[in-house]
A and B are shown apart, each in its own frame.
Chain A
Amino acid sequence: MAAEATSRSARSGTGWQGLVLPLLLPSWLVIGIFMLVPVALMAVYSFLTKDFRGGIVWQFSLDAYDQFFVERGLFGDEPPLPNWTYITIFWRSIWQAGLATLLCLIIGFPTAWFIATRNPRHRALWVFLITVPYWVNLLIRTVSMRFLLRDHGPFNEMLMAIGLIDSPLRIINTDLAVQIGLFYSYLPFMVLPIYAAVERYNFALSEAARDLYAGPWTVLREIVLPTVKPGIVAGCILVFVPSLGAFLAPDLLGGARTYMIGSLIDEQFRGSAGNWPFGSAVAMILLTMVLAVLLWQVRVATREKR
């Protein structure tokens, strides 16, 4: 964004040149103080030594990364092996976040389409309704979700009352519960960007395609999806990235077997049981992965623009 602004100002006359820097300064300060400094701090911490009371000792060490990737025997004399514990947690997180993204897309796209094709006067109301649940804190909503999904909670009671099941479904503390939690938490992040894209979509294009012998599904695949793709990509990133690092839903709705990266990091910063350098290292690894995905996406997008 900053790069774009500077390149544009470079092209437009010299009169603006003097103003560019002062105008950009506030945003640079905000990005610097609230993003770069914490990330730098985290990067530094991940290379320090753990203090046994919690916190850190200012001494360089690769222990945190070593703990993540390498399995060493109890006595230190066995040959080192790759450590699968944390990689498994990462893998599960990616898998869960990916599935949540897909679910959000499947439900979010028709929802966004529905809103965007309403009478323009009513669209704002629909968007407003989508955001209503977000007025309540995510923690409270996740706790209520736990209550709803309990073995003898309202959801199971209802299913039993209408005779669909005889005994309560085991939902809480399963991967399914985590999925439901993630889906519920991040759905609007999928709906809103897609809505913005569909609202700009020129429906005459669909008519033109129908006129040229394309059936309704072909129109969706060949015309609609490619045109609203930027919205879909934005929605997927906005759901996938926070889902990957989420810890409330896995913590409160999942059990010990549904451990995700977010919880792993969260745990490292709690009291004396924690390990700050290790937590920072895990966070750094996660950050690297997310950056890799985003950079790949940017490359694909720029290549498509030719």
Chain B
Amino acid sequence: MGLVQTEKLGNCGSLQREAVGIKRVVKCYGSFEALKGVSLSIADNEFFTLLGPSGCGKTTLLRSIAGFEDVTEGEIALYGLDIAALPPEQRPVNTVFQQYALFPHMSVRENVAFGLRMKGVAQAERQARAAEMLEMVHLSEFGDRLPSQLSGGQQQRVALARALAPRPRVLLLDEPLSALDLKLRQAMRVELKQLQETTGITFVFVTHDQEEALAMSDRIAVMSAGEVQQVGDPRTIYEAPVNRFVAEFIGETNVLPVTVSDVSAGRARVALAGCRDLIAQAPEDLSPGAHHVSIRPERLSLADGGEADLTARVERVVYLGTDLQLLACLPNGASLTVRLQNTARTSLPLQGQELGFQIEEGAVRLLVD
């Protein structure tokens, strides 16, 4: 079997070593471009997430790495080795499929041992490793069951154990949690992250759930319509979105139209109708004129007698338990969402009340469209 041996791919010492290198990958279905020149560099031992709305090409990219799709243009390298010509069975990557795709005629144990059997691992070792994997996903007692006799969450963990058993260099996960209910999903998030840390395997995780992405990832690539919009750690993605799409897709935000006057050293003076001028974080190459800024709802607070940065009329108060969400209206008619922590001294604002808000230092970000 022409499997690319782990050794041949070299020893990975530093954390910065590139596990998956994707260069200008284009994938066309007929005349439709599902991937429009995607370039990514995924580091060894990294929990890397592909995040984007439905239909943006996440699955297509993942399937291209696994070898199920031939890319139209571009290169995909695994630890520096071009794998374009290798069929899926010769790539040292394993996949956890969205619908799990467990073999229905094999027991859980046989499912988990399948990859090892195909690699020609001896029976005794195979059994030992399958047992070890089942232990790891807390399914030791279920080895003799058929997949159809398991719950969704258990099947998901079998799929995970099956993909991890052959010790792949890279594990691809296509929305593995989407079929689970919220509670289980949250528990699995933590388990997955721990698993990635203990095994040291590079995870490429696909999701359209931004909360999931923020909670688990070392780095996130935000995709839209076949293109990568931004790559960065969760904090950068959330706090310094490069464009309007990323700002709006990740978390809740207020996108407001402004006029930019002078720009210098990453700062800009912006005028928001009906408010006093604000200082915003701006990209270097921004030209003055009409733009949008993003202000996260939780970066606003009540002025409470202090000097207000902006005033707005409260239209609705949504009580969320830990938080209060205010839906307010700015003097120019634009709507503004504010999230306040619900503490003992917070009094519920009244509908129709005019309130002054303060904006946290550095919370105003100029967006490129």
Binding site for B on A (CB under 8 A): 202, 204-205, 207-215, 218, 222-223, 226-227
- Contact at A212–B105, with CB atoms within 8 Å? no
Contacts of B162 in A (CB 8 A): 212
Are A208 and B95 also in contact (CB < 8 A) when A202-B101, A223-B103 are?
Answer: yes
Binding site for A on B (CB under 8 A): 1, 3, 66-68, 87-90, 93-95, 97, 99, 101-105, 114-115, 118-119, 162-163, 166
A215 to chain B, nearest CB (A): 6
Cα separation A235 to B36 with both chains bound (whole Å) = 47
- Contact at B89–A215, with CB atoms within 8 Å? yes
Are A205 and B101 also in contact (CB < 8 A) when A211-B94, A212-B114 are?
Answer: yes
Contacts of B104 in A (CB 8 A): 205, 227
Cα separation A210 to B95 with both chains bound (whole Å) = 10
Partner pick for A226 among B1, B105, B166, CB 8 A cutoff: B105
Can you list 7 contacts pairing A with B, beta carbon distance less than 8 Å?
Answer: A205-B104, A211-B89, A211-B94, A212-B166, A213-B166, A214-B118, A223-B103
- Contact at B97–A218, with CB atoms within 8 Å? no
When C-beta atoms are compared, the residue in chain A nearest to B3 turns out to be A213
Contacts of B87 in A (CB 8 A): 210
Are A212 and B118 also in contact (CB < 8 A) when A207-B68, A207-B88 are?
Answer: yes
- Contact at B103–A211, with CB atoms within 8 Å? no
Are A212 and B101 also in contact (CB < 8 A) when A207-B68, A207-B88 are?
Answer: no
- Contact at A213–B115, with CB atoms within 8 Å? yes
When C-beta atoms are compared, the residue in chain B nearest to A203 turns out to be B101
B107 to chain A, nearest CB (A): 10
9 nearest interchain CB pairs?
Answer: A212-B115, A213-B118, A208-B101, A204-B101, A210-B88, A226-B105, A213-B89, A214-B118, A211-B95
B262 to chain A, nearest CB (A): 55
Contacts of B89 in A (CB 8 A): 210-215
Cα separation A197 to B200 with both chains bound (whole Å) = 41
Cα separation A304 to B102 with both chains bound (whole Å) = 18
Cα separation A214 to B113 with both chains bound (whole Å) = 12
When C-beta atoms are compared, the residue in chain A nearest to B98 turns out to be A204
Contacts of A204 in B (CB 8 A): 97, 99, 101
- Contact at A209–B103, with CB atoms within 8 Å? yes
When C-beta atoms are compared, the residue in chain B nearest to A214 turns out to be B118
- Contact at A227–B101, with CB atoms within 8 Å? no
Interface centre among A202, A207, A218, A227 (most CB of B within 10 A): A207
A219 to chain B, nearest CB (A): 9
When C-beta atoms are compared, the residue in chain B nearest to A225 turns out to be B105
Cα separation A205 to B95 with both chains bound (whole Å) = 12
Cα separation A222 to B87 with both chains bound (whole Å) = 18
- Contact at A227–B105, with CB atoms within 8 Å? yes
- Contact at A211–B66, with CB atoms within 8 Å? yes
A217 to chain B, nearest CB (A): 11
Contacts of B114 in A (CB 8 A): 209, 212, 214, 222
Cα separation A210 to B89 with both chains bound (whole Å) = 5
- Contact at B103–A208, with CB atoms within 8 Å? yes
Cα separation A212 to B68 with both chains bound (whole Å) = 13
Cα separation A207 to B62 with both chains bound (whole Å) = 13
- Contact at B119–A213, with CB atoms within 8 Å? yes
- Contact at B88–A218, with CB atoms within 8 Å? no
Cα separation A204 to B163 with both chains bound (whole Å) = 14
Interface centre among B66, B101, B102 (most CB of A within 10 A): B101
Contacts of A227 in B (CB 8 A): 104-105
Cα separation A213 to B104 with both chains bound (whole Å) = 18
Cα separation A202 to B104 with both chains bound (whole Å) = 10
Cα separation A210 to B67 with both chains bound (whole Å) = 9
Contacts of B1 in A (CB 8 A): 213, 215
Contacts of A209 in B (CB 8 A): 103, 114, 118
Contacts of B3 in A (CB 8 A): 213
Cα separation A218 to B114 with both chains bound (whole Å) = 11
Are A207 and B118 also in contact (CB < 8 A) when A212-B162, A212-B166, A213-B166 are?
Answer: no
Contacts A210-B68, A222-B114 aside, 9 further interface pairs with beta carbons under 8 A come to A204-B99, A205-B101, A207-B97, A208-B97, A210-B89, A211-B88, A212-B118, A218-B118, A227-B104
Interface centre among B89, B114, B115 (most CB of A within 10 A): B89
When C-beta atoms are compared, the residue in chain B nearest to A223 turns out to be B103
Contacts of B90 in A (CB 8 A): 213
Contacts of A210 in B (CB 8 A): 67-68, 87-89
Cα separation A210 to B88 with both chains bound (whole Å) = 6
Contacts of B66 in A (CB 8 A): 211
- Contact at B94–A212, with CB atoms within 8 Å? yes
A94 to chain B, nearest CB (A): 30
B110 to chain A, nearest CB (A): 10
A256 to chain B, nearest CB (A): 47
When C-beta atoms are compared, the residue in chain B nearest to A208 turns out to be B101
Contacts of B166 in A (CB 8 A): 212-213
B221 to chain A, nearest CB (A): 22
Cα separation A213 to B3 with both chains bound (whole Å) = 8
Cα separation A214 to B118 with both chains bound (whole Å) = 6
When C-beta atoms are compared, the residue in chain A nearest to B107 turns out to be A306
Contacts of B68 in A (CB 8 A): 207, 210
Cα separation A210 to B90 with both chains bound (whole Å) = 9
B350 to chain A, nearest CB (A): 55
